[in-house]
């Protein structure tokens, strides 16, 4: 899968992309420093995710502009770690990655896309709602992730 766009190419990550993906996710998720300390993900965690699913990358030619994780789970797909380099946020990169992730899930035979967002990220429900996702429930935040503020996940889903 490789799609050309005016502002880069979307492609499936290869194992040699793992370090760049880790750096990009941690850069993009610095916005969460107000409620959680430390990096969002480690290189080992990225490699483990690559073994279960795949990262779609928005490659600008000058480096990674964004990425998103997609994992097939029977007739559903899970989307996570939507990450856009802060230097290009607001350019439509996140929307392009979402569209590519949904297309990829459909191509894998999935009928729904599921995702979790942290309730403290006030801007995220509206972003995903505009893309057709609905709030379908809540889930606890992982107990091994110490937080500065109480939080939980909002579970959202969309029929593809």
Find the CATH number of the domain harbouring 42: 3.40.630.30
Half-sphere exposure of 148 (CA within 13 A, CB side): 8
β-bridge partners, 96: none
- Taking phi first (over 0 means left), then psi (-120 to 50 degrees means alpha), and beta for anything else, what does residue 4 get? beta
User: Is residue 31 in some structural domain?
Assistant: yes
User: Is residue 6 in some structural domain?
Assistant: yes
What SS3 class is residue 35? coil
The structural domain count of the chain equals 1
Provide the residue-wise pLDDT of the chain in tens; the chain has 160 residues: 544 444 689 999 999 999 999 999 999 999 888 888 888 899 999 999 999 999 999 988 778 999 999 999 999 999 999 999 998 888 889 999 999 999 999 999 999 999 999 999 999 999 999 999 999 999 998 887 778 899 999 999 999 9
Please give the Cα distance from 93 to 84 (Å, whole number): 7
Please give the Cα distance from 112 to 129 (Å, whole number): 15
User: Is residue 123 in some structural domain?
Assistant: no
Please give the Cα distance from 77 to 70 (Å, whole number): 7
User: Is residue 53 in some structural domain?
Assistant: yes
**Which pair of structure tokens corresponds to residue 148?**
């500065």
What is the domain extent for residue 73?
Answer: 2-113
Please give the Cα distance from 81 to 72 (Å, whole number): 15
Q: What is the pLDDT of residue 1?
A: 52
User: Is residue 132 in some structural domain?
Assistant: no
Q: What is the pLDDT of residue 110?
A: 97
User: Is residue 124 in some structural domain?
Assistant: no
Neighbours of 59 (CB within 10 A): 19
- Tell me how many degrees the CA angle 29-35-39 measures, rounded to the nearest 5: 40
User: Is residue 139 in some structural domain?
Assistant: no
Residue 15 CA from chain centroid, whole number: 18
User: Is residue 58 in some structural domain?
Assistant: yes
Q: Supply the Cα-derived Rg of the chain in whole angstroms.
A: 15
């Amino acid at each position: 899968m490789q799609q050309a766009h005016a502002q880069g190419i979307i492609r499936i990550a290869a194992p040699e992309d793992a370090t760049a993906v880790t750096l990009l996710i941690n850069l993009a998720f610095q916005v969460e420093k107000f409620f959680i300390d430390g990096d969002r993900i480690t290189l080992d965690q990225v490699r483990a995710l690559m073994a279960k699913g795949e990262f779609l990358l928005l490659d600008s030619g000058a480096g990674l502009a964004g990425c998103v994780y997609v994992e097939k789970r029977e007739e559903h797909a899970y989307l996570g770690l939507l990450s856009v380099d802060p230097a290009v946020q607001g350019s439509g990169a996140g929307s392009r990655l979402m569209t590519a992730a949904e297309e990829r899930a459909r191509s894998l035979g999935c009928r729904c896309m599921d995702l979790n967002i942290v309730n403290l990220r006030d801007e995220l429900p509206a972003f995903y709602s505009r893309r057709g996702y609905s709030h379908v429930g809540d889930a606890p935040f992982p107990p091994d992730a110490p937080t500065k503020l109480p939080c939980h996940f909002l579970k959202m889903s969309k029929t593809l």
